[in-house]
Amino acid sequence: MIEVKNINKKFGDRAILSSASVLFEQGKINLIIGESGSGKTTLMKCMVGLENVNKGEVLYDGRNFIAMDDREKKAIRKEIGMLFQGGALFDSLTAEENVTFPMTMFSDMSAEEKRERAQFCLQRVNLPNAGKLHPSELSGGMKKRVGIARAIAMGPRYLFCDEPNSGLDPRTSILIDNLIKEITYELNITTIIITHDMNSAIEIGDNIVFIYNGTIWWRGPKEEILKTENPEINAFVYASEFMKKIKKTFS
Amino acid sequence: MNWFFHLGRYFILLRKVFRKPEKFVVYRTRFIEEVDSIGLGSLGIVCIVSLFMGAVLTIQAAFNFTSPWVPLYAVGVAARDTLVLEFCPTIVSLILAGKVGSNIASEIGTMRVTEQVDALEIMGINSSGYLILPKIIAAIFVHPFLIILSMFLGLLGGYVAGVASGVVTSYKFIYGIQYQFLPFSITYALIKTVVFAFIITSVSAYHGYNTHGGALEVGRSSTKAVVYSSIIILLFNVILTQLLLS
Ligand SMILES: Nc1ncnc2c1ncn2[C@@H]1O[C@H](COP(=O)(O)OP(=O)(O)OP(=O)(O)O)[C@@H](O)[C@H]1O
Ligand SMILES: [Mg+2]
C-alpha cells in the first residue's frame, strides 16, 4: 500500500501538482489516468523520489519515503520495479543483460540462474528470441516490453508502469495487461499504472485515479467511473466514438 | 555566484561518486571496460600527435640554435625538456580532454536525458558512483602509461626527423637526451598527468551528469566539458609547476 499525502510540486513557479493526496491499495491494480501534460508522470516520479517534492509525504506501507536518508531510500528502491515512459533500457547492454542487470547488482545468482530467470521474464513479455539484441535493434514496443521484463525481474513489492501499452498493437497490449494483472495478484503487490488507453483501463483496472490540472480530481473503483456525471471525467473517458457507443448501450 | 554554484554541486557529486560501491565485482568489470575505452581508444591519437610534435620540436630547436657557441647536443636537451616537462603531460592531456572528455559527457548526458540514470537510481544503485567512479580510476591508471609512451614516441620522432634532415647527428642527439637528466622531471610530469586525468574525467562527468533536456543539451554539455576541463587543466598546470619546480 502506498499513501500519498498532500504533495506539492513546482517546476520554477509553475505548480504542477497541488495538494495531491491519494491511496494506492495493495494487491490491486491502481490506474492513473488524465490528459497529456496533467502531471501523471510527475506524480509517479515524485513518489519514487526522482523528483524532489516541495511539500508532502509518500508512505510505503507506513514508511515515509520523503523523510528518509539515502541508505533507507535505497532499501525501499530495491522493492520497486519501474517501467519508464520511454523504456530507459541501458544502451550498452543487450536485452537479456538489461534484465539480468538488477540480479547481477543485488543477488548472488550464478550466470546460469540469471540467464534462466531473464529468459523466463522475456518469455512472459512475448520476446523469447530478443535476448541477444541491443536496444538500438528493438522497436519502440519491444523496448517497452523488455523494460517490463526488467521491472519484474527481481519480483518487486511495488510496481510502477508509465504507459505500459502505448505504442503496442492491441494483441500485445492485452498480453501485457494480463501479465501485469497476473503478477499483481500472484505476488500480492501494489501496482500503479499510468495509462491513456481506456480499453485497458476498463480491462484491468481495480481502482482509478483521475488527474486533472495537477489535482486528484476523482478516485474510485472502475465501475463508478463509467457512471459518474462529472463533466471533466466524461470528456476524458468518452472522448472516442467507441466509448460513446458503449455508454449508449449501457444506458 | 554561478561559479560557486557549480563548484558546490561538483563537490557534492564527487562525494557521491566516492561512496562505497554496491558490488565490487561489477565495478571491476566496469573499470576494465573503461581502461579499454579511455586507454586503448586514445592510443592512436596520442601516438600520431607525439611522433609529429617531437619531430617538429627538434627541427625548430635546431633552427633556433644557429650560433656556433651552442653545442649541437643542445638540440637533444631542448627536445627532451620540452617534451618531458610540458608537451607530453600538458598538451597531450589537453588533447585527451577533447577526446575523452567529450566522450564521457555525451555518454552520461545521453543516459541522463533518456532516463537511464533514473533507471539506475530506481533500482537502488548509486548512479553517480556506478557511472563515474570507474572512469576516474581508469583514467588515473591508464593516462600515465599514455604519457610515458608519448614521451618515448616524441623523442623517437625528434631523433628520426633530426637525423634524417641532417640538423643533428645521431650521437649528439642521444648525448643531449641524456645530458644532465633529472629523473624528477618524469615524476613531475606524471604527477601532472594524474591530476589532469582526474580533472578531465570528473569535470566532464559532472557536465554530463547534470544535463537536462534533449539532444541539443547533450551537445552543449559535451562542449562545456571540453572547454572547462581544458581551462582547469591550464590553471592547475601553473599551480603544479609553481609548487613542484620552484
Ligand atoms: N523537468 C521538467 N521541467 C519543467 N517542467 C516540466 C518538467 N517535467 C514536466 N514538466 C511539466 O509538467 C507538466 C506535467 O508533465 P508530466 O510529464 O507529468 O505529464 P503527463 O501527465 O505524464 O503527460 P503525458 O501523458 O503526455 O505523458 C507538463 O506541463 C510539463 O510541461
Ligand atoms: Mg507521462
Element housing A218 (H / E): strand A215-221
Contacts of A152 in chain B (CB under 8 A): none
Task: Sketch the domain layout of chain B as residue ranges.
Answer: 24-245
Q: What is the pLDDT along chain B (246 residues), one digit of tens a residue?
A: 688 999 999 999 999 999 989 889 999 999 999 999 999 999 999 999 999 999 999 999 888 887 778 888 899 999 999 999 999 999 999 999 999 999 999 999 999 999 999 999 999 999 999 999 999 999 999 999 999 999 999 999 999 999 999 888 999 999 999 999 899 999 999 999 999 999 999 999 999 999 999 999 999 999 999 999 999 999 999 999 999 987
Dist. CA A194 → ligand 2 center (Å): 8
The SS3 of residue A30 is strand
pLDDT at B1: 64
CA distances from A158 to A81, A178, B30 (A): 6, 17, 29
Contacts of B114 in chain A (CB under 8 A): 86, 88, 91
Interface probe for B, chosen from A11, A91, A105 (most Cβ of B below 10 Å), is: A105
Element housing B178 (H / E): helix B170-178
Which positions 55-114 of A are in contact with B (Cβ < 8 Å)?
A: 73-78, 80, 82, 84-86, 88-91, 101-102, 104-106
Give the ligand with the smallest distance to the CA of A20.
1
- Going by C-alpha positions, the residue among A164, A235, A155, A228 that lies closest to residue A201 is A164
List the domains of chain A with CATH numbers: 2-79+158-249 (3.40.50.300), 91-155 (no CATH)
Q: What is the pLDDT along chain A (251 residues), one digit of tens a residue?
A: 999 999 999 998 999 998 889 999 999 999 999 888 899 999 999 999 999 999 999 999 999 999 999 889 989 999 999 999 888 999 999 999 999 999 999 988 999 999 999 999 999 888 999 999 999 999 888 999 999 999 999 989 999 999 998 878 888 888 888 889 988 998 899 999 999 888 888 888 899 999 998 888 889 898 888 888 888 888 888 888 887 887 778 77
**pTM of the prediction?**
0.91
Element housing A34 (H / E): strand A29-34
Report the complex ipTM.
0.90
> Residue B112's closest chain A neighbor by CA?
A88
Cell numbers 558546490 correspond to what residue?
A: B8
Dist. CA B176 → ligand 1 center (Å): 67
Q: Is B8 exposed, middle or buried (0-12, 13-18, 19+ CB in 10 A)?
A: exposed
Nearest CA to CA, how far is B135 from chain A (Å)?
Answer: 15
